[in-house]
Amino acid sequence: MKPVFHAGEIAVQKRAGVQDLANRVGRSIDSVIPLQAEGFLRSQPMAIIGSLDAHEQVWASVLAGQPGFIQALDEKTLVINAHPLPEDPLHANLAADSHIGVLVLEPMTRRRMRLNGKAEVKDGMIVLHAEEVFFNCPKYIQARAWKPKSSAAASSQNAENDSSLNARQQRWIAGADTFFIASNHSERGVDASHRGGNPGFVQVVNGNVLRWPDYKGNNMFQTLGNLSVNPNAGLLFLDFETGATLQLTGKAEVLWEDEEKESFSGAERVVEFKVDRVVEVGNAVKLDWLFLNYSPFNPG
């Protein structure tokens, strides 16, 4: 029987002093999609996908559609009936490597679910054969309601591709309250997760370096465990007002020293990310979001 956690996750849990707690929480990880999750999945308009390109760089992407575009066919099979935009690396990544991680998040209720496994494109749909399935805690999710964009607002997208962040993109990130991160383990595959905080929680050091605090979470450390053995990571920033996306791939490092945490309220660790490539797509997500409130767990 495969252990619940791999060596990287266990090493981080030990260093954080939470291995016993992690083992208890880890009992929630399953290999099947629970029956009660089917309605949750079917009602969502958006999914975050972590994937690998042909050079094993990690990317985080978003797919959106009318509720029902995500469905659990059975306890092992998830279907996402959506096409990645041609500008999105996911378009080529699905052909390069079958491992993906899926995060389905409902900002209104702060519920989120992660499904990791191997995928294939079949009849124009992404079919995930689930290997790990679990719900996450609701911490640091900002509450938002959604509705489809009007046809007038749903114009075509434009794309930009670069090796560093320009000044406008740096301002975008500096004001963000949410982003998504994908990471990879050579045996367990790709994982997609969420990070949130009050605006300004991501520090822009320069056009190629970002830092953010790692707050207290569920103590399983899937993301940090992956990063401890493989620094390749992908970030996704979504502009909830315009629907634009900013995708970054690069390398992340966990900084444990006390002095690194001093500039971040509530940080238990700090993560530093070095940018290798940037892809921005305008009007990529055809949804309008209404901000409701910040998570009560966000450090001040």
User: Is residue 143 a part of any domain in this protein?
Assistant: yes
pLDDT one-digit tens code per residue, 172-222:
999 999 999 999 999 999 999 999 999 999 999 999 999 999 999 999 999
Q: Which two tokens stand for residue 99?
A: 């491992």
Model confidence at 137, in pLDDT bands (50, 70, 90)?
confident
Q: Closest by alpha carbon to 171, among 143, 199, 211? A: 199
Model confidence at 46, in pLDDT bands (50, 70, 90)?
very high
Full residue range of the structural domain in which residue 96 is found: 7-293
- The larger pLDDT score, comparing residue 157 to residue 104, is at 104
In this structure, are residues 236 and 89 in contact, taking their beta carbons and an 8 Å threshold?
no
| Predicted local distance difference test score (pLDDT) of residue 151 | 62
List Cα–Cα distances, 178 to 117, 124, 150, 263, 294, in angstroms: 25, 30, 24, 19, 10
3-state secondary structure of 254: strand
User: Is residue 299 a part of any domain in this protein?
Assistant: no
User: Phi, psi at residue 124, to the nearest 5°?
Assistant: 80, 5
**Euclidean distance between CA atoms 150 and 68, whole angstroms:** 19
User: Is residue 175 a part of any domain in this protein?
Assistant: yes
| Predicted local distance difference test score (pLDDT) of residue 158 | 79
Distant-in-sequence, close-in-space partners of 40: CB < 8 Å, separation ≥ 6: 104, 106, 111, 113
User: Phi, psi at residue 139, to the nearest 5°?
Assistant: -65, 145
List Cα–Cα distances, 230 to 96, 161, 264, in angstroms: 19, 24, 25
DSSP string covering 93-155, please?
A: HHHH--EEEEEEEETTTTEEEEEEEEEEEETTEEEEEEEEEEEE--TTPPEEEEEEPPTTT-P
CATH number of domain containing 171:
2.30.110.10
Distant-in-sequence, close-in-space partners of 240: CB < 8 Å, separation ≥ 6: 144, 178, 289, 291
Q: Provide the number of structural domains found in the chain.
A: 1
User: Phi, psi at residue 186, to the nearest 5°?
Assistant: -60, -30
User: Is residue 166 a part of any domain in this protein?
Assistant: yes
**Euclidean distance between CA atoms 137 and 216, whole angstroms:** 11
Q: What's the mean pLDDT in 215-239?
A: 97
User: Is residue 251 a part of any domain in this protein?
Assistant: yes
What sign does the dihedral 251-255-261-267 (CA atoms) show?
Answer: positive
User: Is residue 265 a part of any domain in this protein?
Assistant: yes
Is the pTM value of this prediction over 0.95? yes
User: Is residue 246 a part of any domain in this protein?
Assistant: yes
User: Is residue 78 a part of any domain in this protein?
Assistant: yes
| Predicted local distance difference test score (pLDDT) of residue 159 | 79
Give the 3-state DSSP-derived string for 174-230, with helices as H, strands as E and coil as C.
HCCCEEEEEEEECCCEEEEEEEECCCCCCEEEECCEEEEEECCCCCCCHHHHHHHHC
| Predicted local distance difference test score (pLDDT) of residue 198 | 98
| Predicted local distance difference test score (pLDDT) of residue 224 | 98
